[in-house]
Copies of this chain bind each other. A is one copy, B any other.
Amino acid sequence: MKALVYHGSGQRSWESVPDAALQLPSDVVVHVDAVTICGTDLHILKGDVPTVTPGRILGHEALGTVVEVGSSVQRVKVGDRVLVSCISACGGCRYCRERAYGQCRGGGGWILGHLIDGTQAEFVRVPFADNSTYKIPAGVSDEQMILLADILPTAYEVGVLNGTVRPADVVAIVGAGPIGLAAVLTAKLFSPSHIVAIDRADTRLEAALKLGASAVVNPDRDDPAALIAELTGGLGADVTVEAVGIPQTFDLAVSLVRPGGHVANIGVHGAPVTLHLEDLWIKNLTLTTGLVDTYSTSTLIDLVASHQLDTASMITHRFKLDEFEAAYDVFAKAADTGALKVLVTA
């Protein structure tokens, strides 16, 4: 089969590899009908994720058709059309029992396109298939569904639910890349009074407004703190979401929150940050971090199916599998291309 293979820092190619095959009784093999690229894949390509070794097939978001089923699989059968979740879950360890599948101690967690071959291929082996795939219900299009593989549950769980967004809250989202935009989209589910998106790219701020932000700020031109102060009588935001992953944006997220508020970090950080506890110790702050657990995937599917959530609006570019390298080029230059999510289909 063909697949997108990582060959060390900065090197990738769409090339022939051995076919995906069952390895364990709880595996299935899925024919990939649609797949996307995640910002994390770009990190890997920069060499920032040393646990990904050369030769690895990338990708942890996909949907497709089950073509082979291991002997102990109970709830998935050949022909099922399924979402392949970015998180695989053994289902039985302490963390899986508490629905913290991302922290699975039984061999799961984020392994696809990381510790085992991933979804950017014609076929993919999916371990722990009973707990790691979701049937695509009637009435949900592939374009809606595929965003539930990673970005939507990540923004919803790690941003919105960890941040405990509530009706009438003022929410500030630092970073309006795909993950920040997905946080805009899912924060709206709780009817905050104001969602303020902050980014340096005006194209992204425009996208934020379209997806439901009530205000946007480009910090190169305006002061986010001034806007938040205006909206909150000088108090600060109820919830801030960090959706970038660098010290400056973390600082900004912390500085914008009110006493008693929540800072929900989604950003993947590569360096330590400074936490000003000399000011914050007294501020009744709650700060959360997290890898997605995907415990919300079923909820998000129901929300899409009932038209409470329009995920497909985040897809800006579409490619075929044999154009995978072009898809990467477009996604990697999002500032120029305006790419949010690129869809690659069979």
Interface residues of A (CB under 8 A from B): 25, 71-72, 74-75, 90-92, 94-95, 97-100, 102-103, 130-131, 166-168, 188-194, 214, 245, 250, 259-260, 265, 267-278, 280-291, 293, 295, 298-300, 302-303, 305-306, 308-309
> Which B residues touch A298, using CB under 8 A?
94, 97
Asked if A289 and B278 sit within 8 Å, CB to CB, the answer is no
Asked if A289 and B299 sit within 8 Å, CB to CB, the answer is no
> Which B residues touch A274, using CB under 8 A?
272-275
Partner of A276, one of B98, B102, B250, B272: B272
Asked if B103 and A303 sit within 8 Å, CB to CB, the answer is no
Asked if B267 and A95 sit within 8 Å, CB to CB, the answer is no
> Which B residues touch A214, using CB under 8 A?
306
Find the B residue at minimum CB distance from A245: B281
Q: Classify the interface of chain A: helix, strand, loop or mixed.
A: loop
Candidate in A191, A286, A293, A298 with the most chain B CB atoms within 10 angstroms: A191
Partner of A282, one of B167, B260, B284, B290: B290
Sample (25) of A-B pairs whose CB atoms are under 8 Å apart:
A72-B72, A95-B260, A97-B295, A98-B99, A98-B260, A100-B259, A100-B260, A102-B284, A103-B259, A103-B260, A166-B299, A168-B299, A189-B190, A193-B306, A193-B308, A194-B306, A250-B277, A265-B281, A273-B275, A273-B277, A275-B275, A282-B291, A283-B291, A284-B291, A284-B293
